[in-house]
A and B are shown apart, each in its own frame.
Chain A
Amino acid sequence: MSMINTHKKGFTIIELVIYSAGMLALLTVIIGLIIYMYGFYRDTTVGPRVDRIGVSVTDRITKDIRTGVSFNPDQSVFGSQTGELSLNAQSGETTLTKYIALQNNRLVYQENDGTVLYLTPADLTVSNFYLTSISTPVSEAVHFSIGIDFEKAKETYTRIYSGSAILRHSYE
């Protein structure tokens, strides 16, 4: 007497195809959502991040200029979108030269021809660094403005940060 096995084992090809298609659709939706969320997060945070960097660089440059005694006119570029500022500065009893400039869309800082330090991160574009020298009968000062470009919702924006500082030792 033979027995017929009526139990179905495993999946049919149709079931596998439907399951795979379902999984693929679900994955597509999840990945799309993640990409959208990342874009939304980036657009929301890029402005404040640029602000933080702009404010911090402005503060840093202001403090550096204040340590100045005089400009080095040969190594400074005023009135240009790619300004360069070279200062004779004083830190305590030590005299030194400070150099701040825009190079390859990043602000750089150098002391006494030493190591070049970057003041802005590589993923941000500093599009201009404009310097104006100010002379009064008793002091010297610098006005500067920094333009930082960033993309938000596929459009490019530029934020300008500006400041002024008197070379404190120029009074002496």
Chain B
Amino acid sequence: MYKRGISIIEIVVSASIITIAATFTVNSLIIYQQLAQTNVEKTQAALLAEEGSEALQLMRDNGWTSYIETIPVDTPFYIYWDTTAYATTTTEIASGDYIRKMIFSAVERDDSTGNIVESGTLDTDTRLYSIEIFPVNDPTDQLLYTEGLLHNVYD
């Protein structure tokens, strides 16, 4: 007795194997793509933070009293490129697909050692700045947080 053609069981088994393999491949591609995108987002966030830090230095170079002291401490501000120079605003603005939030904090020093301490004498020639980057479409997803010190060297 000859068996001709393919049985329904064989078709179901082979279709299942093909489906599983295809699902695995597509999922792997999606995961790879997501990882690559996350990596790009983090790098872009790092570049934005670097640009922010550079912009603060330029503002300091233009004049501590006019450009840095006028920004209130403990208040979020945003730096943007205004076609010829950097400007600041307290209104949240996007830099491309990201928000770059910056905050100045006052710096206090120990009178005897000059070290930065939590409670001491106010150093009016130094600001602690923080930069936080997050995507416009998801403000809860903090991509990067960094801090630095800005010194009044030239005024």
A interface list, Cβ under 8 A from B: 41, 44-45, 48, 51-52, 55, 58-59, 62, 132, 134, 136-139, 141, 143, 160, 162-166
**A136 cross-chain contacts in B, Cβ below 8 A:** 58, 61-62
Contact: B40 with A138, CB < 8 Å? Answer: no
Contact: A164 with B47, CB < 8 Å? Answer: no
Contact: A166 with B54, CB < 8 Å? Answer: yes
**Is the CB of B44 closer than 8 A to any CB of chain A?**
yes
B44, B51, B54, B81: the one within 8 Å of A51 (CB): B44
Contact: A141 with B58, CB < 8 Å? Answer: yes
Smallest Cβ-Cβ distance to B59: which chain A residue: A136
Question: Could you show 6 A-B contacts with beta carbons less than 8 Å apart?
Answer: A44-B33, A55-B43, A62-B47, A137-B61, A164-B55, A166-B58
**Is the CB of B37 closer than 8 A to any CB of chain A?**
yes
Since A62-B50, A164-B86 are in contact, a sample of 14 more A-B pairs with Cβ atoms closer than 8 Å, ordered by chain A residue number, is: A45-B33, A48-B33, A51-B44, A52-B36, A55-B40, A58-B47, A59-B43, A59-B47, A132-B83, A137-B61, A139-B61, A143-B81, A164-B81, A165-B54
Q: Considering the chains assembled together, what is the distance between the CA atoms of A51 and B44 in angstroms?
A: 9
Q: Considering the chains assembled together, what is the distance between the CA atoms of A134 and B87 in angstroms?
A: 13
Smallest Cβ-Cβ distance to A132: which chain B residue: B84
Interface string of B32-58 (1 = CB under 8 A from A): 010011001001100100110011011
Q: Considering the chains assembled together, what is the distance between the CA atoms of A58 and B36 in angstroms?
A: 18
B51, B58, B84: the one within 8 Å of A162 (CB): B51
Contact: A141 with B33, CB < 8 Å? Answer: no
Q: In which size bucket is the chain B interface?
A: 20 to 34
Name the distance in Å between A161's Cβ and chain B's nearest Cβ.
8
B interface list, Cβ under 8 A from A: 29, 33, 36-37, 40, 43-44, 47, 50-51, 54-55, 57-58, 61-63, 81, 83-86, 96, 154
Q: Considering the chains assembled together, what is the distance between the CA atoms of A55 and B57 in angstroms?
A: 22
**A165 cross-chain contacts in B, Cβ below 8 A:** 54
Contact: B84 with A48, CB < 8 Å? Answer: no
A55, A138, A143, A164: the one within 8 Å of B44 (CB): A55
**B55 cross-chain contacts in A, Cβ below 8 A:** 164
Name the distance in Å between A7's Cβ and chain B's nearest Cβ.
16
A48, A51, A138: the one within 8 Å of B61 (CB): A138
Contact: B47 with A138, CB < 8 Å? Answer: no
Q: Considering the chains assembled together, what is the distance between the CA atoms of A2 and B107 in angstroms?
A: 117
Q: Considering the chains assembled together, what is the distance between the CA atoms of A132 and B86 in angstroms?
A: 11
Name the distance in Å between A27's Cβ and chain B's nearest Cβ.
18
Question: Contacts A45-B33, A132-B84 hold; do A55 and B61 have CB atoms under 8 A apart?
Answer: no
Contact: A51 with B40, CB < 8 Å? Answer: yes
